[in-house]
Amino acid sequence: MSRLVATLIICLTAVGILEAIRFGEQTSLHAYHLSVSPGGNELLREPLHEGQSVTLHADAGDSLAIELDARGRQIGGVLTIAASNGRATLRMFDDKILGPGERDCTAAATDAWECKVFWRLGRPKMERLPLFPADDAVTIDSVAFNPVSILRAPATTFAGLLLFLALLVVLSPLIVMARWVSLRLELFILIGLSSVWIATTGVVSALAIATFLALGYFLVRLELRRRETRGSILLLAIGFVALVLFYFKVLAPYASAAFGQTSSLALPLGLSYFGIRLIDVIFAARAGTLREVNAVEFFGFMLHPSMLAAGPITTLAEFRRARIADWSITDYGSGIARCLVGLVKKFSADLLLAPGVLKLTQTVALNPDTVNARVVWPMLLGQLLYIYLDFSGYTDLALGTGRALGWRLPENFNWPLAKSNLQRYWQSWHMTLSNWVMRRVYFPAFMESRSPILAAVCAMLAIGVWHQPNFGWTAWALHHGIGLGITIKCRDVGFREGGVLARWASMPTGRNTMWLVGWALTVSWVALGLSYTLFDSYLTSFSAIRGAFRF
């Protein structure tokens, strides 16, 4: 148990150090005073330094250019402008007047004001906002930007994914026919299609994935042939996967800045899933359940186009059983129908939920100290429902495409938002990942510690760090790990056979009451945990949590 606690402390310390380093990285915000030269034939561009004020005159055509370099990330944050002696016009989607008495503006002193505006960069590159005097003149005292939401640019767009999956569905009958010639030919075709799609995301990403998979296959072959060193090979594989993911998830932005690149390298398509599959293959080889795997089967398993973007996570044994031997037109039609269900979910999330959640998120970011439960809970519950529809929609597209291609892939969701406790929730949410972590992390940790709470924290910490090794996901993991451990302990202690709660729960009234209370607590706990990952700023996250209990 001491080794497990020491490992947990080391992981949390490492995340803390990374967060401290990342917290010191300031967003690249610049402001420039644009004016016309005395001769009127040249536009002057003078940088505005920290602590420097500048007066903009309307009759002279003065303006201020506020530039933010996203560096390959999708950023949303609060732009704070302090000024005096007049009002200003900020040109965003439409003209926004800044000054005393305006929305999200406060009077700081005589003729001085401060305004906050939520600025969301739609593209992962430099964007510019122009600021003009709304009156004869205005003095700009300071411009600052506080990021509250930072996401890495995705390797591909939803439109690109949809186009690729549509192509797969159209070609499915021909690909299945290739199976009649040779099973290897079918895998060759699938590998080729995935390789072409990966190549369209960028040459560097494609080379990174090719190198990763080639070295991964080398480690698998080494494990299968040299069983006397199997412990060291397993550790080597885990370290290799961890280092690769650490570079792309953490170090890539710093490396890009060091080499003067304007944007950081996007996370290669499916890399996180490749890492889990590779480690699982090594585990299977180490346990002796995997005797042999050839290169075509290995790369076909890793690069199956249906599972490339968002899972599901399968083992090699499950992959071998997933091929539908008696594939027919019924499977093809069922696959198309499942894809349509996924599209309905995805568009419902993007068109119906996303705008409202975004508006509430902006309200919390602009007013972190005054928001209350009427704002925070709709935001968190809306975000939870959005994530479910979005992710399960992607899963429906993956499973539907796989069914049309002649593969029956495992389910990933089983109505998780209708479960009455946190344990059942995690048995129904992203089930392939939950099952994998249960096998590889929870059970070994429980056997080591005999503590369900400590084992649950280890399991959830593995999921959190796998998503992103930062404060938000670590806090989310601790939130869920503690909640899951307490749920398991309460079930074992509070509902023992013959106990008061067990007898009450066996009655219809007690059963329905327990389900309703458990469901409300479960959904509330899961939604509250999103406070840590919804905002990149831990101060905003804590403000949202406080606001959730401010009625």
| 3-state secondary structure at position 12 | helix
CA gap 150, 72 in Å, rounded: 10
Residue range 30-152, CATH number: 2.60.120
Q: Token pair of 21, please?
A: 């380093």
Per-residue pLDDT of 46-90, as tens digits, reads 888 888 888 998 888 888 998 887 666 678 888 999 998 888 999
Per-residue pLDDT of 488-497, as tens digits, reads 877 766 666 6
More confident residue, 238 or 11: 238
CA gap 389, 413 in Å, rounded: 11
Farthest-apart Cα atoms in the chain, separation? 94
C-beta of residue 282 within 8 angstroms of C-beta of residue 302: no
* Cβ atoms within 10 Å of 128's Cβ, excluding its own: 11
- Does residue 266 have a pLDDT over 90? no
C-beta of residue 63 within 8 angstroms of C-beta of residue 255: no
- Does residue 337 have a pLDDT over 50? yes
Mean pLDDT of the chain: 84
pLDDT-based confidence at 449, cuts 50/70/90? confident
Q: How far apart are the first and last CA of the chain?
A: 42
How high is the pLDDT of residue 17?
Answer: 60
Per-residue pLDDT of 195-240, as tens digits, reads 998 888 888 888 889 999 999 999 898 888 875 555 577 778 888 8
Query: Given the structure tokens 């002796």, which residue do they identify?
Result: 288
C-beta of residue 220 within 8 angstroms of C-beta of residue 285: yes
In three state form, how does the secondary structure of 439-485 look?
Answer: HHHHHHHHHHHCCHHHHHHHHHHHHHHHHCCCHHHHHHHHHHHHHHH
The model's pTM is 0.89
- Does residue 25 have a pLDDT over 70? no
Do you find a cis peptide bond into 124, omega within 30 degrees of 0? no
CA 181, 184, 187, 188 torsion-angle sign: negative
Q: Where are the domains of the chain?
A: 30-152, 158-323, 327-413, 420-551
pLDDT-based confidence at 3, cuts 50/70/90? low
How far from 231 is each of 224, 227, 282, 287, CA to CA, in Å?
A: 12, 8, 10, 11
Q: Name residues whose C-beta falls within 8 Å of residue 397's C-beta, 6 or more positions apart in sequence.
A: 161, 162, 165, 338, 339, 342, 343, 346
Q: DSSP states of 492-506 as a string? A: HHHT-TTSHHHHHHT
How far from 544 is each of 23, 115, 328, CA to CA, in Å?
A: 20, 21, 52
Most confident of 109-113, 283-287, 344-348: 344-348
- Does residue 406 have a pLDDT over 90? yes
Q: Name residues whose C-beta falls within 8 Å of residue 31's C-beta, 6 or more positions apart in sequence.
A: 47, 48, 64, 65, 66, 67, 140, 143
**Facing residues of 116 across strands?**
80
pLDDT-based confidence at 135, cuts 50/70/90? confident
Q: Token pair of 287, please?
A: 């346990």
How high is the pLDDT of residue 259?
Answer: 44
Closest CA to 475 of 465, 486, 487, 489: 465
- Does residue 541 have a pLDDT over 70? yes
CA gap 68, 126 in Å, rounded: 6
CA gap 229, 417 in Å, rounded: 45
- Does residue 122 have a pLDDT over 90? no
CA gap 307, 319 in Å, rounded: 11
